[in-house]
Every structure is written in C-alpha cells, then in structure tokens.
Chain A
C-alpha cells in the first residue's frame, strides 16, 4: 500500500512538465515572501483577494493560449477578441438587451473567430502567427465598429441599475465564500479545461499534434478538428475575459484586452508550457499567471515604475523560454562545440 502510494507520488513528480510547474510555484512563493518582507501589506487579506481577482484574467487568457502553445500554434487575436467580446456585450446592454443575450452573442462571435482561426491554421496550413495576426486586426476592427468607433456608455444606462449591478457583481465585484466571483469563474473554467486536457481523448490529441503532427495523423488524429477545438477553447477564454473587463469598467472599452495575447503567452511559458509544442501542464499556467500578477502587484506596492515592472517581467519570460530550450536540447552542463 505504502509502496503503491510512493510510486504514485514518484510518477506524479516524474510527469513531464511537473518540474517546470514546481519551479514556477517555488518562484511564486519566493517572490511573494520577498515582496511581503519589503511591504507587510502584501500579506494582508484584502491584497490577497485583489491578487486572486486580478490574476483570474491572466489565468483565463493563459489557459486559452496554453492550449494553442501545446498544439505548437499561437493565437495573436486573443487580446482583440477580449476587446470585441467586451464591446459587443456592452453595446447590446447599453441598448437594453438583456445581459444573458448579450453574453451569448459575444460568445458566438468569439467562437466564430475561433473556428476561422482553426480552419486557417489547421486546414489551409497558414502559419499561425500570420493567420491570427490577420484575425487580430479584424477582431479589433470589429470592436471599434460595434459602437461606431467610440467606447460605450455605462451599461446601466441601457439595462437599468439593478441589472447592471447584477452583471457587474456576477463577473467582478461580487463575492462567494469571501472570494471574488471573478476568481471562482476562472477557477471553474480552469478545472474544466484542465480535465479536458489531461483526461480526455481531445486532450491527448492536442498534445499529440504538438508533439509529432505526422505521428498524430498516422494514429488517426483529425488534425484540423483538433486544431479548431484548441482555438475554440482560446476564444471561449477570450470571451469570458471580455465580459470580466466589461463588468469591471461597467462599460465597453475599444482598447480592452490590448496586449493580452502576450500576457497569455507569458503566463504559459513561465509555467513551463513549451512554445515549441507538445509539452506542458495547465497547472503551470496557473502558477505562471500567479507569478505574473504577484510581480505586478508587488512591484506596484513597493512603488516601482511601470518601466521596471515590464523589464522584470520580460526578463523572467525570456529566462523561462531559455530554460525550456536548454532542457529540450539536453545541454545542461555541457559545453557547446
């Protein structure tokens, strides 16, 4: 029995990518304690709550982007989709349409973009960088056009204060069991997508096409469908983050989600998701998003300038990718020729 348990733990620790996850979590603890020593407020309950809420956006975007990184692809349009989702839902609500319908429409629009991305990359074999660069501009353009090139008014002006507050509380300001709803939403979606990736056939196929696309084809994996599924996951995440941003501001902002595609990549790679595809655990993305947000939060609290914040985060991202490349090539401790 004891032996069984031991071997299960050994197997868990031996899981590919678990090392990177543990490293990221270790880094998170060190960063958090370091900032806490500098400023005691970092440890306060209120700050922890805020931290969890803020990291939820990065976690969701990170999950979407991680799915694509594992398949060996990328989605540059995910940030613009966030903006489109926020603008579509906000515009409809300012025109008196119920939040549920507005959310559904935003979701359908994002899913359509996901399908288009998937078809362009999976079926027509366009380089994902180029294909999603195109859809990035298209979706950002759509975000601008939804409300005639201007931000929306407050959503409460259309659906009324009560419905507006409910929407905002549900996505951003409300709490359940003392923790902001934003975190619960992100956690539920994270668990769903975690299960999908680690326990289902679709998850295995996603890893398979990132690892060896030819082997996947010969093993009967439908590469086009699997690629579309991965882009659909990323579009669902983008849509939910758009709704969160809309709820946070109480209005639609055309520039919402700007640069989020890169935050998603950063959360993934910090957590050990390989940008070369085929490896990485979604648990790492959780750690990556937490590291990112803790850094931002901590640097803010100790009064570091925005420039310094970006610089530190940039170095950490490069370091993470470098670590992945070195581990893959097995060059640890070896002199290059």
Chain B
C-alpha cells in the first residue's frame, strides 16, 4: 500500500480579499514524482510556501507524513522538512559546498570546524546517493546543474522527504535538465517524493508519474500516467490558441547572416535569418546566448568569421548602436531589464519612438494617436501611471508592444517563454506572431524548445557552440525532446 506523504483537503487561502488557493485538493504519495502544471501563475508561490511553512489558511486541512500540520482552525507555523530547488539559489555563494552542507544548517553545534572530517562525511554521503560534485568548490563556481545537485543533496541530508522543483527548465540547459531528471528518478526510487512544477506540459509529462493542472488556485484535472499526452491536455489549452499569422519570408537573400562565427562559446556557428522568419536555436549547453548578445550589441567581436546585416559587414560601431541598425533584443528577464518602473505605461511603450521617428521632439498628436490605437489593444491600462500595478503578463506584453511599435528588422529573444504561466506564454506567442507578420525576422535562443516550436519556421540544435542538426517546420515531429 502506498504511503500518503502530503494531503491537502479543500484548502482555501485568501490574502487581502484575493482567493489565491481555492478549494484545493491535492495528494502526494511517497516515492512518486508529481507534476504540477501551472495554467495561471496565481497560487503557485503560495502553494509552495504553504507546503513548506504551514501558512495560515482560511479553510481546509493539510496532512504531512500522516499528521495534521495545518488547518483552518489552527496553524502552529512550524516548517515541514521540504527542500525547494528554484531559480534563486538557497546556498551561500562565497562558501564551499561542504560548508553549505554541514556548517550552515540547523543543529550544527560545533564551534571548531574540522574540514577534513566534514569532507569525508560529505564525500561518503554524496557517493551513497550517487551525486557527483566537487565538494571543495565554492558555490559561486558551480554550474547550474551542480548547484541543483548540491541543494538536492543538502535536502536529503536534512532528511527532507519532499523535494519541490520549481521550473528547472528556466535555469538548466536541455542537457543539464536531462541529467537532473535522471537524478530525480533515482531519488524517487528511494521513496522520496518530488513535486515537479512547470509551465511546459511536454516537459512535465516526460518525468512525472502523475500531473496536476493548477488553474486559478485550484486543481482542475489530474492526469494519470496513461493520460499524459497532447490529446488529453488539448481541451484545457484550446481556449488559449491564437491563430497563426501569415508571415512572408524572403527566401532569397536573408537579413542577418552568421558566417562561421567563433567566440569563446561559439565554434563556427553559421545561419541565415530571413525577413518574417522565426528561427529557434536550441542551445543544449545554455552557453551561447550571452555570446550572441555580446556580438550583436558590440560587447565583443568575432575571433573568427563575421556577421553581415543586409549583406554588409555588421561592424562594431553598428553593433554599439544596434537599435539604429534595426536590431532589437529582448533578454531573458525582460521585465527587469527593459522596463522603467518609475515611468508610466505610455512612457514605457513609446520609449523607442524617438529612434523610430529619428526626432528628439515628438509632437503631441503622435502620442495621442498611439494612445488611441493601443487603448483598443491593451485597454485602460494604457493610462496606468505605475507599471508595477500591472500583472506579469501585462508587463511582458508591454515589452513586446514597445518592440512592435518600434518595428525592428531583426528581433532577438532570449528564452522568451521562461517566465510566466501558460496564459502568459500564449500571449507572448501571439505577440511574436504579430511582430513576425510585420516582416520582422525573429531569432529565438532557448534552452527549452517546448512551445517555441509553435511559431518557429526552423529549429537549429546547437551543441558545443556548433550546429549539430537543423529541422524545417515540416520535420518538427522528428525532434527528439
């Protein structure tokens, strides 16, 4: 008989009048990997906090390991032994792995530290759990995969029986993700439970034993092993489908060419990007995005090879003024790195207008006309004076609307779907379709292809800085996930 590790029975959590978790029923057994697919981001963070910290709830009861740990009538506020692995590291960067494992934990009472003994203990523990990390390294020099493994190891060392993994596809490369998932399966076999949270159903279906669909703070469907396929989830995502745009690629010349480009992480990358075309580069090692960004923004030059824009060499000077050359970039964390939080919605939206019009003074009638045009598209938020009041989806949409207004010739997006829930992803895809329809060439660099294939015309898989395989749109069904 399966041992029930976690049970949430009719849990409702209300904060400031907003129902974040709504009559949530959730159950996890020992030794299973449960996928949690987030249809809307609402309630995701609160659910994690609730499992870890037993925050007060308005209705319902929570059992952990057979005991009631939280209920509407009483919450002792004790923390459960749960390990959370997410984008933000929970380790101290400046200390070694061993220090993080042993010294920085509750219950460590020794005043004098014998490093040799700690190292031996850590080595024995890691070998026992088949975790391979250099224990003498400082945390700051660990790779993302190593950091996750150390956090996992620390969780196991502390006796955690539930591991929560929050969107690992956002911070691990495709290769690292596969390795990490292998490790999670080993952990599961030792009767440890894993709650694997993500917003790409394909990724979750590959690893999970069961998958729950969280939507607006409620679990609306649990997919059993035999139900985890595209057909079964289709009814739940068809309402988000946005019809495709008719892009008109110029199949002859192309706008942006990479000719055998070498940098620290690029080893002879070559591709051509056409007008109105979307090319997705799957970076298996999660290393080349920064190099491509630096090349296109003037941060560095090619060691070998060259780049051409409109068949003319893309010089360092042009790169330094890349917006003037018709190039736009949306980095991974686009809201943090492209929005001005103290400025209004309109000011953020029209920030690149002076470059587009090549004027320092912009007549008021242009702003009026933009306000009128976009009020039909985005609604009343056009008058928002504080963009921090907007939802994440609206903030991300603002970034894309700004680019849409600017109409660049080439748009480079780094992991555009890394942030946000399924709704936000669909919104981003719709906006990208609009941008493509306007004739802009879009280059997507990602470590996780899941949804980007919906709009991609071509897929290039890059390993060790070089293209290992290319798929055309009609070959996407052959892509090895």
Q: Beyond A200-B360, A204-B347, is A214–B342 a contact (Cβ under 8 Å)? A: no
Counting CB contacts under 8 A, is B189 at the interface?
A: no
How many of B's residues come within 8 Å of A, CB to CB?
27
Q: Beyond A14-B383, A204-B351, is A218–B331 a contact (Cβ under 8 Å)? A: yes
Quick one: which of B342, B352, B383 contacts A207, CB cutoff 8 A? B342
Residues of B within 8 A of A274 (CB): 342
Q: How far is A326 from B338 in the complex, measured between Cα atoms in Å?
A: 25
Please name the residue on chain B nearest to A216 by beta carbon.
Answer: B340
Closest CB-CB distance, A116 to chain B, in whole Å? 24
Counting CB contacts under 8 A, is A211 at the interface?
A: yes
Counting CB contacts under 8 A, is A178 at the interface?
A: no
Counting CB contacts under 8 A, is B1 at the interface?
A: no
Q: Beyond A211-B341, A278-B340, is A220–B322 a contact (Cβ under 8 Å)? A: yes
Residues of B within 8 A of A278 (CB): 340-343
Counting CB contacts under 8 A, is B221 at the interface?
A: no
* Pairwise interchain contact A219-B338, C-beta atoms closer than 8 A: yes
Please name the residue on chain B nearest to A11 by beta carbon.
Answer: B383
Name the interface residues of A187-233: CB closer than 8 Å to any CB of B. 199-202, 204, 207-208, 210-212, 214-216, 218-220
* Pairwise interchain contact A219-B343, C-beta atoms closer than 8 A: no
Q: How far is A96 from B392 in the complex, measured between Cα atoms in Å?
A: 66
* Pairwise interchain contact B340-A208, C-beta atoms closer than 8 A: yes
Please name the residue on chain B nearest to A274 by beta carbon.
Answer: B342
Proximity bits, B331-362, A CB within 8 Å = 1, else 0: 10000111111111001000110110001110
Residues of B within 8 A of A11 (CB): 383
* Pairwise interchain contact B342-A211, C-beta atoms closer than 8 A: yes
* Pairwise interchain contact B342-A218, C-beta atoms closer than 8 A: no
Quick one: which of A16, A201, A218 contacts B344, CB cutoff 8 A? A16
Quick one: which of B336, B343, B351 contacts A16, CB cutoff 8 A? B343
Point out which of B321, B331, B340 has the most chain A C-beta atoms below 10 A from its C-beta. B340
How many of A's residues come within 8 Å of B, CB to CB?
24
Closest CB-CB distance, B406 to chain A, in whole Å? 10
* Pairwise interchain contact B361-A199, C-beta atoms closer than 8 A: yes
Proximity bits, B381-414, A CB within 8 Å = 1, else 0: 0010110000000000000000000000000000
Please name the residue on chain A nearest to B352 by beta carbon.
Answer: A219
Proximity bits, B351-384, A CB within 8 Å = 1, else 0: 1101100011100000000000000000000010
Counting CB contacts under 8 A, is B47 at the interface?
A: no
Residues of A within 8 A of B336 (CB): 214
Counting CB contacts under 8 A, is B324 at the interface?
A: yes
Q: How far is A293 from B343 in the complex, measured between Cα atoms in Å?
A: 30
* Pairwise interchain contact A214-B351, C-beta atoms closer than 8 A: no
Closest CB-CB distance, B16 to chain A, in whole Å? 10
Q: How far is A177 from B316 in the complex, measured between Cα atoms in Å?
A: 56
Residues of A within 8 A of B95 (CB): none
Closest CB-CB distance, B325 to chain A, in whole Å? 10
Q: How far is A14 from B385 in the complex, measured between Cα atoms in Å?
A: 7
Q: How far is A81 from B383 in the complex, measured between Cα atoms in Å?
A: 42
Residues of A within 8 A of B337 (CB): 212, 214-215, 218
Q: Beyond A218-B337, A219-B323, is A16–B360 a contact (Cβ under 8 Å)? A: no
Closest CB-CB distance, B295 to chain A, in whole Å? 15
List the 10 closest A-B pairs by CB distance, nearest first. A278-B342, A220-B323, A211-B340, A279-B342, A201-B360, A211-B342, A201-B354, A14-B385, A215-B338, A200-B360
Given contact pairs A15-B385, A215-B337, A218-B337, enumerate 10 new A-B contacts (beta carbons under 8 Å). A16-B386, A207-B340, A211-B343, A212-B341, A215-B339, A219-B338, A220-B321, A220-B355, A274-B342, A279-B342
* B interface residues with partner A (beta carbon < 8 Å): 297, 321-324, 329, 331, 336-344, 347, 351-352, 354-355, 359-361, 383, 385-386
User: What are 20 of the A-B contact pairs (CB < 8 Å)?
Assistant: A11-B383, A16-B342, A16-B343, A199-B361, A200-B360, A201-B360, A202-B360, A204-B351, A207-B347, A208-B351, A212-B337, A212-B340, A212-B341, A214-B337, A215-B337, A218-B329, A218-B338, A219-B338, A220-B324, A278-B340
